[in-house]
Amino acid sequence: MKKILFIGLVLISFILNGQMIPSRSIKFVEESLLKDAGKKVELYEFNKRDFSHIWMKNQEAIIGYIGVDFQRIQIHFISIIKNQHIDNEYFVYGKSKVKNNVCDFQGKFIITHIRNFNTAEIEALYKEALKHGDKDAIRRFGKERCFILAKCFLYEDQEQKGSGVFVGVIKSYFYIENGVLFYDDLDLGVKDDYANNQFIGVWQNYKTLVQKPCSWGEYRIHNAGDLDTGVGEFSPNMKYLDKGWYTYYQAYNKFDNEAIKKENIKWWE
C-alpha cells in the first residue's frame, strides 16, 4: 500500500507548485501568526522530527463542513508518512464522506511555519501555579507549547463520483516534554473553544471546477459561522440538521442509542 501511495504522490508532486492557496487559507495563516504571536522556530530545528502522529490522533473528534450551506463532511486519515527525502513534507492517504458518497484521497502536507507561543502571559500563569502548588495548572502552563502550519493538497480519486481536490492550510498544536512531541490536548475540557488540527480551505470539483469553502477540525470548526451553537462543546444549529447533521445532533445532544451506533460506524473501512 505504501509503495503504491508513494508512486502516486511522486506524480502529484509535479503539479503542487501550480496549485494556488485560497485567500481564506492565507487569511487564516496571517491571523494565526498574529494571534498566537510567539517565538519563530526555524524549520530545520525540527527536520528529523515526525509530526504524523499529531495529525493521526483523535480522529474520532473530526467534524467539518463543505459549502456555504454547511453540508457535513467527514474526513478520516488512513496513513500519513513522512517524506524521507524532503523533511517538511508528508504523504497523506485517507477518505472523505459527504452524505453517502465516499471518496479516496491522497496528497501532501507541507509544513511552512512553526511557532512557540509560550508568551509572557503563559509564563506568568506558570509561576503563579508553582506558587500555589496547582498541579493541573503547572501541567498546562509548564510545557513548551507550539503550533505548525502546513499547506494541504488532497486529491480525491478522479474515477469516483463527485470527486475533487482539497486545497488549504492545516494548523496543529503540539507540546514538547523531555524532547518528545505530543499532541496538545492540555486545554481539552478546560477551554470551551478548544480545537486542534484545523483545516481551512476549499474543495474544487474536477469536472465542473466549482469551488466550495471547506473546513474541518477536532472538537471545533474554524469559520463555522452560525453552524456551531454550542457553548462548552460543538453543537450543530438545528436549521442545518438536514445538511447531514441530524444523526450527530441525535447522538451527542439527545444521546439516542441508534444515532450513536450510526456515528460510530467505521465508514472508511
The cell for 128 is 503563579
Q: What angle do CA 191, 252, 234 make, to 5 degrees?
A: 35
Query: Any idea which of 24-33, 55-64, 90-99 has the lowest mean pLDDT?
Result: 24-33
Q: How, if at all, do strands 101-116 and 62-66 pair?
A: unpaired
The cell for 7 is 508512486
> Cα torsion at 95, 96, 102, 103 (round to 10°)?
-60
Residues whose CB is less than 8 angstroms from the CB of residue 139 and which lie 6 or more positions away in sequence, other chains included? 186
Share of the chain above pLDDT 90, in %: 68
Residues facing 146 on adjacent strands: 116, 174
d(CA 167, CA 108) in angstroms, rounded, equals 10
d(CA 64, CA 220) in angstroms, rounded, equals 8
Mean pLDDT for the stretch of residues 55-66:
96
Mean pLDDT for the stretch of residues 59-63:
96
**pLDDT for 140:** 74
35 vs 256, which has greater pLDDT?
256
The cell for 223 is 469559520
d(CA 41, CA 230) in angstroms, rounded, equals 34
Q: What angle do CA 63, 218, 43 make, to 5 degrees?
A: 130
70: left (phi over 0), alpha (psi -120 to 50) or beta: left
Is pLDDT above 80 for 40? Answer: no
For the chain, the average pLDDT equals 88
Element at 29 (helix H, strand E)? helix 23-35
d(CA 57, CA 80) in angstroms, rounded, equals 11
- Kindly indicate the confidence band of residue 19, based on its pLDDT and cuts at 50, 70 and 90: low
122 vs 196, which has greater pLDDT?
196
3-state class (DSSP) for residue 234: coil
The cell for 56 is 493521526
d(CA 249, CA 251) in angstroms, rounded, equals 5
> 125-183 pLDDT, tens per residue?
777 777 777 777 777 777 788 999 999 999 999 999 999 999 999 999 999 888 899 99
Query: Any idea which of 54-63, 122-131, 228-237 has the lowest mean pLDDT?
Result: 122-131
- Kindly indicate the confidence band of residue 116, based on its pLDDT and cuts at 50, 70 and 90: confident
Is pLDDT above 50 for 68? Answer: yes
**pLDDT for 119:** 64
Cell numbers 503563559 correspond to 122
**pLDDT for 120:** 64
d(CA 32, CA 113) in angstroms, rounded, equals 10
> Cα torsion at 86, 89, 90, 94 (round to 10°)?
-140
Is pLDDT above 90 for 66? Answer: yes
Is pLDDT above 60 for 11? Answer: no
Q: What angle do CA 142, 145, 149 make, to 5 degrees?
A: 175
Most confident of 12-26, 76-90, 110-124, 127-141: 76-90
